[in-house]
Amino acid sequence: MYLVTYLPFYRVHEVLTHFMRNIEVLKPRSAIVYVDNVFHEKQREILLKIIPESIEIKFGNWRNRNNTWIAMLRDFHTLGGEVMVVDSDNRVTEDLPRIHGELRGHPIYTILDEEGWRRNPQYLLIRSRKIGELSINGSTKPLYAYKVYNGSISGLFRGGSLFYIGPKQVVALMKLPEPEILNKVERALDSVDVWLRDFIHDEVLLGVIAHLMGIREVPWTIASHHLHHGSASERATKLLVAAAHYHFAKGLVREFSRPEFRRYQLKYALSMVRNVGSIVRF
């Protein structure tokens, strides 16, 4: 198994504080770090000094998480094995190697952090069904399956995206999307202004890709600790969020001509109408 993390240049310290420990727990075949916002040779020199030689470094200036994911998924085709992607501000639990052994028969599974489970997992449970339990190291963990596409009428009017992969602290990939899928999704993503792309959560992008792979549900359980980096606010203007999703959905319609993407576009067209006043403050 290959172990991967991705992060912007200004969070490179998380390789040392978190990712090195994840390598110790998971003992991967190889470890790779993708570093975004790298555009100068001096940045490369700094990274080569900081990151241990045992870790392969991939540089890019993708400027958002979603284009970084596309680049990673395309590269994974050259690896020839299972890939586990861990968010850079997460430390996996000692249970994850055993969990991987139990769930590796699925094309994709994901992991939620224990803090998120204790805080409020309802936003995940509303689209999940319990499919079993895992007995790991003397304890029992629930196993859920998350529905990656919400095709209900109510989904057009409720909060949350129609496409979502579920929790994403860890994403384990035993099957990869075909290059043609990645090329088309990338073109749809690139039709969104680059400064808006980070308003589209990468859970949404991965949900779209899983759906296009024919995956209807993604198993998930709890096996990490989220040590939130705290470097950015979670607040965003609803109109800008809606605009980002609308243009992404429009690009998906152009590339795939599928009715579910027309529904996705309609959802955020309605959201833009509802939130047009949020851009003005009196």
Alpha-carbon distance values, 73 to 4, 172, 178 (Å): 11, 12, 9
- What is residue 123's predicted lDDT score, i.e. its pLDDT? 92
Average pLDDT, the chain: 94
Phi, psi dihedral angles at 277 (to 5 degrees): -75, -15
The DSSP 8-state label assigned to residue 149 in this structure reads B
Encoded amino acid at 54, one letter: S
Contact call for residues 241 and 276 (beta carbons, < 8 A): no
Buried b / exposed e over 221-244, threshold 16 CB at 10 Å, is: bbbbebbebeeeeeeeebbbbbbb
Residue 232's pLDDT is 61
% pLDDT > 70, the chain: 95
Residue-wise pLDDT for 85-117, tens only, equals 999 999 999 999 999 999 999 999 999 999 999
Distance CA 191, CA 243 (A): 12
In this structure, what are the phi and psi dihedrals at residue 227, rounded to the nearest 5 degrees?
A: -100, 80
- Write down the pTM of the prediction: 0.94
Task: Compute the chain's Rg from CA coordinates.
Answer: 19
Cα dihedral across residues 210, 147, 189, 201: positive or negative: negative
- Furthest CA-CA distance within the chain: 58
**Domain boundaries, given as residue ranges, for the chain:** 2-234
Note the pLDDT of residue 282: 40
Residue 147 has pLDDT above 50, yes or no: yes
Distance CA 189, CA 66 (A): 8
Look up the CATH number of domain 2-234: 3.90.550
